[in-house]
Structure 1
Amino acid sequence: MANHIYDFLKLFGPVISWWCFPFERLIGALQKVNTNDHIGGPLESTIMKLQLRVANIRHWLRRTDCPEALKQLKILFDKCFVPTESPEEHFKPGSHRSYVKRNGAVFSPYTTHEGNTTIIYHPHPNENPTAGRIEQIDNIITLNGTHTRLLVRAHLPLPKASYNPFRIFPDFPAKTYSTHMKDSLDDVVIHAARFDFSHNRSVFLNLSRA
């Protein structure tokens, strides 16, 4: 675990938010090993033997000349664990991501790393950029591959009655917003029925009862 601290820092941010979890998980896995109440030397020996048995099973399951009896076992094995022979082929990305990299910068949802979640973005192509917070990062699987989608919650503009101390510094690239976030539910009107048809078009029908 210690060898991957650098990777964890890049993935999950400051250690104060995740530090004990990987180690506690590893300790929990070791505690589940059946040691027959042995301590000292027999304890380590029992754990090592268990690891060797698991490695041998994985070795046989990856062989092309695997016995038929073990092939039947492999069907059950793959249902319980990640297949070992070709993880790249069997890997399927989840629907959510803890971070995404673009042009050397790392962006994360606020639940993962608050330092990488505040962004300046265009709500729409023709609108001026505004400040927002990344709520969620999703993997969108299409026929052309997997794409990334950011769900962003915008900061509300600063009320006109509020004093903006940065207004007198036009050369300083800062803009003041309200600390309150935009409540997306206020923008919702009603459910809609959707139908996708030709040329990447979708039709929506307002289902308001009024």
Structure 2
Amino acid sequence: MTPNRSAAYLEYMTRYIHDFLDIYVDIKPRPNMHMAMHIPPFLRLFGPVRSWWCFPFERLIGQIQRLLSNHKFGQMESTLLHSFLRAGNLKRWLAKPDCPTVIKECKLLFDKIYSPKVPEDHRSDGMHADDVGTTSNTIPTSLRLLLASSRRQIITRARVRHNGVIFATSKTHVGNSLVQFYPQDNRSMLVPGSIKYIYEEHGKFVLAIQRQLPADDVFDPYAVYPHFPAKLYSSSLSQELERVETDWIYAHYARWKVSSTQSVVLSLSRILSLNSIQFLDLVGNTESSA
């Protein structure tokens, strides 16, 4: 989130509400229109909306409302708020040095029961060691062309975990196979692709990726929206495989097939790269001067 993005949101929302009320003269302004104008200060204070939105709480409220409660409908929001505050106070108390030893023993039990079950990494390359590998006697032709040596057997994986992120082959899970990567670790170039194979090489796992082909000679309708980093690509993947190390992966991406020949690609990175920030600042300064 940048100041220019926050300012752009305010400009677009103001224009939208103004034009909406001019077109639909019989409709009165709604409260959410007023609330939408208060979002820019929160963007500047707390960052992207996903950092402070209430969707997880609303989803939990929906689950609670489906439970049997003797037909008593209480204040779900206040109940969640009080529970959240109690849990926060308990965590703070458990972290204090003067917390009684017997309570700290209980904390160990709580952590075993309620903490997320994230497997520990036992390998230097950060790969999850519990993934089951398979030894392949017949190496696919496309993968054999990628291998430097004349190997007859390889160890493959359906999925691996690297730095807490799960990567999988397209046959195992399409969503986890879609990644943006730096080809040959070239940090000035970022391309999308789909993982077809995961194999072991010199004690670490390497990804064999099919690159998402560009949409040639087609107008990209998303190019005029610099604050929405979507891009139009071809729906086809390259037949050639590229060798990609896990450290060359930038982020996952979402893919929406809008037609038989075209797909929309949207990066799912939670970090805005420095180049993107400089580009957005340049756009914002150009619009201001115009």
TM-score when scaled to structure 2?
0.29
**Larger-gyration structure (1/2):** 1
TM-score when scaled to structure 1?
0.39
Larger relative contact order (CA 8 Å, sep ≥ 6): 2
> Which one has a larger percent helix, Structure 1 or Structure 2?
2
